[in-house]
Amino acid sequence: MTEWIHPSVFYIPGAFLLPFLRGRMQKAGMLLIPLLGTAAMYLMMHLPHGTYWTWNFLGQSMIFGSVDKLSIVFGWVFVIMSFIGMVYALHVDDAGQHVAALLYVGGSLGVTFSGDYLTLFIFWELMAFSSAYLVFARREPEAIRAGFRYILVHAFGGVCLLGGVVLHYLNGGSMLVGPLEQDGSLAFYMMLIGVIINAAVPPLHAWLTDAYPEGTVTGSVFMSAFTTKTAVYVLVRVFPGTELLVYLGTIMALYGVVYAVLENDARRLLAYHIVSQVGYMVTGVGIGTEMSLNGSVSHAFAHILYKGLLFMGAGAVIHMTGRRKLTELGGLYRTMPITLVLYMIGGFAISAFPLFSGFVTKSMVVAAASADHRPLVALLLTMASSGTFLHTGLKLPYYMFFGKDSGLEAKEPPANMIWGMSIAAFLCIAIGCFPKPLYDLLPFPVDFDPYTGDHVTSALGILLFTGLGFFMLLKKLDPEPTISIDTDWFYRKGSRVFMWVASRPVAKTDTYIGDIYKTWFSRFILFFSDILARIMDVRGIDGAVNGIANLFLAASRWMRTTTTGFVRQYAATMLIAGIVILGYYLFSTLMSL
């Protein structure tokens, strides 16, 4: 019988082997590792569900292989995306980035298959630190700063999660990963905060839109796929049916759309649409029915592929032109038509056009909201899909590829980048046209057919008339060279308030205390030491020293007069001294008799 193999065993040790390989060997390794991961996933399909690879550590059992339908579907999309991302990154000659990306994927897979919270937390932190490197690797000052903010936010989230786990355990809870009782306890909310930080739920989302546009071209492709979707996996696993998530998710879906209107940076616009799309998944988790959870999981699957594709498309333009702002781009359709078409496939997929992947997954969440008698949620989510097409399907490609000609001399990106995008584009269309294999992977049996007549015409109506609105209000949408204030303001400007508090009031108090010390304390010490000097030093110690010295001086003066230089006098002195000593001896002996 075949043994169960954790796919991370290829990614994590493989990552450490990669820097020792050079040239073609390194590139072969970059492709081989995800292929071995895919093979491990394939083997897993033929093994029974259950727990594998349990290890006893300090009386706590660590479960590395908890396998069921939910972990398998996420495992599949993670290994597929890691292959696509590696193909896209083949031309990059920076082993550090590849190592970080492989560790990041290994961490995500580790979370997916972990059966207890301790194991989950360890892989959770591996993800945070390895992904931060993908931001630092751009090596620009603003990227370094964004990387530090990113790692601080994730460290905070990790601490919340761990704190929640510890409290949960101390309250008698199980360490096994599973649905938590919604008892409103501190442990429940701390774990929820830890997870929704990674899911980028407002107001805890700003790390995403801050860091993703600052990452390397290839690194951001990985980032767009893994952190938020791993968090969605944990939400589905641990927090299904949490009512709060319905509201947060719906707000999220619209929040990202609003900021995308204002955004000028191409990848930040796409990052705001991650927030928007993850909103659908979070809403699905909150509703908590079988259909909505299926919707969340399948939308996460489709999202990883089309968002990766969109980031690859925008990244290709940034790679070839060196520009990232819509105000500086335009007219690239003539020189980069293939990139444009591949990007548009991602754009159609995210917008849920019929025959593209978003249509068969996003609509499941909206239909689940309708079926669960939540008309407002369904309406607002539909409005957000209009906004999605408006930005990622119309605004971004219009100002990047058409619009005002920027006169940039760009050409198509390297072949491996085109290949990476092509695989993702193929899967976006394949899932859209043949959803059954994906539906079969979902955790619950699927009773949903997206291709009904009214569904297709109403979806097309929403999207195409959004297009009409776009062209009618085109002038209004012209990108502006600005940045938008988001909740990262609180820790970016807040840190300045902290620095001000440190430099002004604290430093002032310090100076004041210093002055008091100098003027009062030092003066008192000087005064006291003066007294000591006068009395003790001059009168006491000096007096004693001088007195002894004077005594010796007088004695030596007297002694000097005895040295006359005459031998007779010396002899007489010795004789007298001998008689005195002898006399004293005789006297004392007689007295003792």
Partner 1 sequence: MIRKLVLFIGDPANSKKVKKIGIAMLIVTFISDFFVHREHVHYIWDRIPGWGALYGFVSCVIIILASKFYGHQCRIMRDEDYYND
The answer to the question of residue 333 lying near partner 1 (CB under 8 A) is yes
The dihedral of CA 441, 444, 447, 453: what is its sign? negative
The answer to the question of residue 481 lying near partner 1 (CB under 8 A) is yes
DSSP states along 182-246: ----HHHHHHHHHHHHHTT-TTS-HHHHHHGGGS-TTHHHHHHHHHHHHHHHHHHHH-TT-HHHH
Cα(215)–Cα(210) distance, rounded to whole angstroms? 10
Residue nearer to partner 1 on the CB measure, 229 or 323: 323
The answer to the question of residue 243 lying near partner 1 (CB under 8 A) is no
Specify the 3-state DSSP secondary structure of 139. coil
The answer to the question of residue 293 lying near partner 1 (CB under 8 A) is no
Using the contact rule CB under 8 A, the part of the chain among 51-59, 335-343, 552-560, 580-588 near partner 1 is 335-343
Among 59, 375, 437, 565, binds partner 1 (CB under 8 A): 375
Residue nearer to partner 1 on the CB measure, 375 or 565: 375
The answer to the question of residue 467 lying near partner 1 (CB under 8 A) is yes
Amino acid at residue number 507: A
Total number of residues binding partner 1 (CB under 8 A)? 59
From residue 500, give the alpha-carbon distance in Å to each of 153, 490, 495. 21, 14, 8
Cα(281)–Cα(272) distance, rounded to whole angstroms? 15
Q: Are 67 and 52 in contact (CB under 8 A)?
A: yes
Backbone angles phi, psi at 506, to 5 degrees: -70, -45
Using the contact rule CB under 8 A, the part of the chain among 162-170, 375-383, 527-535, 584-592 near partner 1 is 375-383
Cα(72)–Cα(236) distance, rounded to whole angstroms? 13
Among 16, 247, 465, 512, binds partner 1 (CB under 8 A): 465
Backbone angles phi, psi at 210, to 5 degrees: -80, -45
Strand partners, 116: 176
**247-286 residues near partner 1, rule: CB under 8 A:** 257-259, 261-262
The answer to the question of residue 453 lying near partner 1 (CB under 8 A) is yes
**103-162 residues near partner 1, rule: CB under 8 A:** 141-142, 145
The answer to the question of residue 334 lying near partner 1 (CB under 8 A) is yes
Among 17, 31, 415, 464, binds partner 1 (CB under 8 A): 464
Tokens in use for 473? 């209000």
- CA-based nearest residue to 27, from 85, 90, 89: 90
Among 178, 461, 547, 583, binds partner 1 (CB under 8 A): 461
The answer to the question of residue 404 lying near partner 1 (CB under 8 A) is no
Specify the 3-state DSSP secondary structure of 50. strand
Q: Are 196 and 190 in contact (CB under 8 A)?
A: no
Amino acid at residue number 398: Y
The answer to the question of residue 455 lying near partner 1 (CB under 8 A) is yes
Residue nearer to partner 1 on the CB measure, 322 or 461: 461
Residue nearer to partner 1 on the CB measure, 482 or 511: 482
The answer to the question of residue 457 lying near partner 1 (CB under 8 A) is yes
Task: Provide the 10 A C-beta neighbour count for residue 230.
Answer: 27
Minimal distance, residue 353 CB to partner 1, in Å = 12
The answer to the question of residue 570 lying near partner 1 (CB under 8 A) is no
Strand partners, 63: 54
Among 386, 406, 416, 487, binds partner 1 (CB under 8 A): 386
Question: Which of the 8 DSSP states describes residue 49?
Answer: S
Strand partners, 61: 56
Among 39, 69, 491, 492, binds partner 1 (CB under 8 A): 492
Among 402, 419, 444, 491, binds partner 1 (CB under 8 A): 402
The answer to the question of residue 482 lying near partner 1 (CB under 8 A) is yes
Residue nearer to partner 1 on the CB measure, 59 or 481: 481
Between the CA atoms of 368, 369, 374 and 375, what dihedral angle is there, to the nearest 10 degrees?
-110
- CA-based nearest residue to 73, from 293, 358, 250: 293
Q: Which residues bind partner 1 (CB under 8 A)?
A: 141-142, 145, 257-259, 261-262, 333-334, 337-338, 340-341, 367, 370-371, 373, 375, 378-379, 382-383, 386-387, 390, 401-402, 452-471, 473, 476-477, 480-485, 492-493
